[in-house]
Amino acid sequence: MDEDGRGRLRPEGGEADGRDADAEAQKTALQPTVANARARAGGRDGAGEGSLPRPEDGLVARAGAGAARAGALLAAHRLAALLTGAAIALLVVVGTLLSPVMAGTPDATRVRADALAHTPVPTHDGGPWNHDGVLIATDAQLREKSTEASGGISARTTVTYSDGSVEASWDAILLYQRSDGSWELESIDVPQAASWRPTSGPDHQKLLASLEALLTRAEARLDSQGDDGEESLANLYRDCEASVTNDELDVAARLDKMTVRCSKQEGFASRNCDLSLTLRFVTASGVWELTDVSVSDGAKELGYEPLKGSWSGSFRTQSSSGHKCLSGRDAGLRLSIDEVATSGDTTMIAGTLDGVAHFHPEPERDSTGCDGDSALESLAFTGTLQDGSDGLVFDCETADDVRGSVSLRLEFGNAQNPSAATATLVSTHDYQDSFLLVPYQRTARYEDEFVLRKV
């Protein structure tokens, strides 16, 4: 058998046509390659530099290249195996080194107890309206733990404080270091300011104690609206009675709206007003701030509400057109002032009275009672405030009576005694008399005076 040009064996007598020509061309093309291979081999198999290449030389060259590639692949696999083994060994070493650090680190219970006991308390200036109180740590929550480069453990916690009216919270970072086989708290760091929230509204007593400042602020609003009253609210309501009558707290909105009722009685008159306050809670500082103050209409006007109510009269004296009839002494006087109304410059009252009216002629001598004395029960009256008096003087009228007339004069306070209160019940009765047998009409008049006290 002969070799073909590609180093393969072929049968004798095979075709030497075009395929032989191709073989010869391939041999010619392979000659430089084969020559180079022999040159690198140093003339292996006794072939000189100018010897013709043999077909078996191609097989040798190919086998050598395959061996080289196999060696390179084997070397690469060995390097990868070495690197993998080294990485595994490194992880084992690191895990061995770190296992003492992570094992037995401070748990959540330990961290919470340390945070509650050792984290500093936020500084709190309660401001003018906050309740007084002492902040106490009430809760601590562990957020995360991490290992420091030094081998220590840091624990981030959120600590909450309360004084009963406000709450504060901030994050604290607790650093633990291992010492003699145990974890010791080394330091606490508070990186940010506290955040505040209200749990109740402002202190009512502090607001009322600062009433003058509230009235001054309300006065400023009146001035801006063109009020030209000579007396300021602070002066008119000095030493007044004040109370919080409404408190609408919205904790979520951190807003509180209050109403403070101010009342001041001057003799038998009074002034009343409502202060509407708006306060907002500042989360950055934890204090309530007063943002708005307004006052109700008519705050400076004098009213007469103190007159309303029941009054009892004790008999003091009687003036009459003749001899006296003193039946009113035992009967006394009872008044009920049910309404007080002011319209413009006119003030009126309305009510009822119980007493005795004298519907009879003058007695011949002073008497404890006479025929014609008439009991008055729930007799309605209306009165109008008179101008130009030292105190409050109301002239009151009652319904007509065929037997005579009844009128009432009420006086509350005067220059000599601002607290005095008196009532004069006036009865008149017309009757026929004669002089020297000449008839004429006379009017008997009785004025019973009573000292009043409110019941």
CA 51 – CA 218 distance, rounded (Å) = 124
pLDDT, residue 224, reads 77
Residue type, 177: Q
CA 328 – CA 353 distance, rounded (Å) = 13
- Tracing tokens 């007044």 back to the chain, one arrives at 240
pLDDT, residue 195, reads 96
What string of pLDDT tens digits covers the 455 residues of the chain? 343 433 332 333 333 344 343 434 333 333 433 344 333 434 434 434 444 445 444 544 454 554 455 455 445 555 555 555 554 444 434 444 444 444 578 999 999 999 999 999 999 988 999 999 999 999 999 999 999 999 999 999 999 999 999 999 999 999 999 999 899 999 999 999 999 999 999 999 999 999 999 999 999 988 877 665 678 999 999 999 999 999 999 999 999 999 999 999 988 999 999 999 999 999 999 999 999 999 999 999 989 999 999 999 999 999 999 999 999 999 999 999 999 999 888 999 999 999 999 999 999 999 999 999 999 999 999 999 998 678 899 999 999 898 999 999 999 998 889 899 999 999 999 998 877 777 878 999 999 999 999 99
What 8-state DSSP symbol labels residue 367?
Answer: B
The sheet with strand 287-295 has its strands ordered as 241-250, 255-266, 269-282, 287-295
* β-pair type (373-385, 346-358): antiparallel
| Helix/strand number for the chain, H first, E second | 7, 19
Please report, for residues 99, 100, 173, 189, the alpha-carbon distance to residue 156 in angstroms, rounded to integers and kept in the order given. 22, 21, 4, 9
